[in-house]
A and B are shown apart, each in its own frame.
Chain A
Amino acid sequence: MSTPALTPDARRRLYRQMLLIRRFDERALELRAAGEIDGVVHPYVGQEAVAVGVCANLTQRDRITSTHRGHGHCIAKGADPQRMMAELYGRVDGYCKGKAGSMHIADFEIGMLGANGIVGAGLPIAAGAALASAMEGDGSIAVCFFGDGASNEGELHECLNVSALWRLPVVWLCENNGWATATPTAEGLAAEGPSAFAPAYGIASEVVDGNDVEAVFEATGRAVASVRAGEGPVVLEARTFRMLGHAYRRVAPPEVRDPPLLDEWQRRDPIDRFRARLITDGTIDEAAAADIERSVSAELDDAVRFASASPVPRPEDAFEGFFASAAR
């Protein structure tokens, strides 16, 4: 199945969205280092092509589950950076009213079923969303973002198995960034990559360059078309790299990976690559690229202004939202 070619406008939108994710996370890290926000931030820097290339194939009715590294998935699915930033600030206008912070942003209205603090936990939830789509019969699908680290979890095998048995409309989207926190994938996974499991369950799979947004878009387009057509689940493994540390509090974590590896992936930066391609083929010029940069920066200025002006929750708000109906 072929994917319609991206129009120049669509390619510019993908580029801007990748840049927005990159700059959002850079801003979040600055705010964290400055003590403006608290808690822990897991930057998505380096993996932007995956979320953007995948979600460009989805509609608002399609549902995704995310990981602890969820900012990119949120933005790519259409979340509002202002409300995301307010959540990082722990304020009442955050998506989760300050109950979630950076690691658990969700927006059910746009089909973003939550970033999740437990590795592998999104897998069964995505299978359930796919089951809902199947029972609804409305043509919607689910996409589960998970990492190579989650491929070591039993939940992946349970979910591959049941999704194949029930032909659930789900794309299992592994972002293989090579490192499960501080452990290289090869030291945690006997298979070459998570996609190697798929044939055992009779599931179609594909490995794609996760640092090439158009390659991700096209591969996901094929997967989504097959899943929507009722052909059952697909495993898509996007090979990518986390360019920054696993998790940041006020002080950056020590870098455990070798400098040559970091340099190699720096040269494959998905945003640099895509910008160069867009400039080479005349889709944008340097001036247009600078305009996009400025507009992203302004959008994030607005987000920070909105977030820092949002009220701090009152102590009694701690009790809000626990149960839907009385439980005490």
Chain B
Amino acid sequence: MRMPNSTCSYDAALLDAVAEEMRRDARVFFMATNPPRPLSEEFGPGRVRRTPISEAAMTGMAIGAAGSGFRPIVHWGNVCFSFVAFDQAVNQAARIRYMFGGQRDFPIVFCARYLNGTRSAAQHSQTGYALYAHAAGLKIAAPSNAADAKGLLKAAIRDPDPVVFFESERLGKTASEIASGEPLVPFGSAAVRRSGTDVTIVAIAYMVEEALAAASALEEHGINAEVLDPRTLVPLDTDAIRESVQRTGRLIVVDESFPTCSFAAEIITSVVEDGATMQALQAPPQRVCTLPVPVPFSPALEDHVLPGAQRIADVARSVVDRVASRRL
């Protein structure tokens, strides 16, 4: 049991969230190829199940168990491994509530980690959240800090719908203060990480850290950036994004994913489709994504292709400067 308002790492917060929800609800159980030892020790092999490396089986078993009254959590390990189970995730988990006329809820959490930025190469370094958002029928969480990791995961476990819960490896050791009690974070509620007036930087998960670093650098250039963290991608808090953009007149979306059909593209679309926000724009919105290649291993190359504070700041300055020059 943690003390009130304790400081906790992102990884520990995730573990706490699962353990607390398993204590709270006997219908919650956990499946993973390598379940965390503390969970196994507390709940035993019946509720913390060590699975064979069989992603399709474990994904489909979660669906069958959820349709039979349980609330499974499946840790896919890396999101790239889940692609072995793509049918079960996309054709089954995402579809069957709707396709069966809403007869049953399927309260499942699929946890998925991505290793971007950890020298893990192309088959372990892709975010995958745009793929699953496009699957239509899955909610998507992508927390940027320990407190949200805990609050969103607890909310995901209680949610009646299937959720894919994304964990950024680079956030694992980061720590933040976590409120005592039941710090649930509701889905569909963005958080302003830094208030600003000149440009809105929407950043997903770990990219919030890079965006905040960029914002500090921009301040030295007299640019006051707002950093907005959507926290969940499905549902997406479009109202908060539009409201921010209407104030700043400029939008950059930071997403460490391949740019084509990325979630950054979706966020920009959600802004430009709205007449009032479109009118407020003083510069074209910009994606700051992974450069358009798979993520390479070599540290020199990976650092070059992934978005970071420097590139975010450069794009922000160009967006703001462009407006300044246009005004001249």
Contacts and interface: CB of A to CB of B under 8 A. Distances in A.
Interface of A: 63, 65, 94-100, 104, 106-109, 113-114, 116-118, 121, 123-133, 135-136, 142, 154-155, 158-159, 161-162, 165-166, 320-328
Given A109-B103, A125-B60, A162-B51, 8 more contacts: A63-B64, A96-B100, A106-B96, A127-B57, A129-B68, A131-B61, A132-B65, A162-B57
Given A124-B59, A127-B57, A154-B56, A65 B97 contact: no
Interface in B1-55: 29, 46, 49, 51-52, 54
Interface string B157-191: 00111000000000000000000000000011000
B64 A104 contact: no
B104 A128 contact: no
B99 interface: yes
A327 B101 contact: no
A121 B61 contact: no
Contact of A322 (B61, B87, B98): B98
Nearest to B107: A324
Interface of B: 29, 46, 49, 51-52, 54, 56-70, 72, 87-88, 91-92, 96-105, 137, 139, 159-161, 187-188, 234-235
B69 A114 contact: no
A125 B103 contact: no
Nearest to B103: A108
B88 to A, nearest CB: 6
Contact of A106 (B63, B103, B137): B103
A89 to B, nearest CB: 14
A282 B70 CA distance: 48
A155 B57 CA distance: 6
A324 B57 contact: no
A160 to B, nearest CB: 10
Nearest to B235: A327
Contact of B161 (A106, A116, A128, A324): A324
B64 A113 contact: yes
Contacts of A125: 60-61, 63-64, 67, 92
14 contacts: A63-B64, A95-B103, A96-B100, A99-B98, A125-B92, A128-B61, A128-B64, A131-B61, A132-B65, A161-B57, A162-B54, A162-B57, A325-B160, A325-B161
A124 B64 contact: yes
Nearest to A126: B64
Nearest to A101: B99
A162 B67 contact: no
Contacts of B188: 326-327
B54 A326 contact: no
Nearest to A104: B99
A113 B137 CA distance: 18
Nearest to A153: B56
A124 B61 contact: yes
Contacts of B64: 63, 65, 113, 124-132, 142
Contacts of A131: 61, 64-65
B84 to A, nearest CB: 8
A94 B100 CA distance: 10
Given A100-B99, A106-B103, A154-B56, A325 B63 contact: no
A273 B234 CA distance: 55
B235 A96 contact: no
B253 to A, nearest CB: 19
Contacts of B92: 116, 118, 121, 125
Given A121-B87, A135-B70, A154-B56, A328 B61 contact: no
A110 B100 CA distance: 14
A132 B161 contact: no
A99 B101 contact: yes
A95 B101 contact: yes
A312 to B, nearest CB: 15
Nearest to A328: B235
Contact of A100 (B52, B72, B101): B101
Given A97-B102, A113-B67, A128-B68, A326 B60 contact: no
Nearest to A321: B102
A133 B70 CA distance: 10
A158 B57 contact: yes
A321 B97 contact: yes
Nearest to B59: A124
B103 to A, nearest CB: 5
Given A99-B98, A121-B87, A327 B139 contact: yes
Contacts of A118: 87, 91-92
Contact of B69 (A95, A136, A158, A159): A136
Contacts of B58: 124, 162
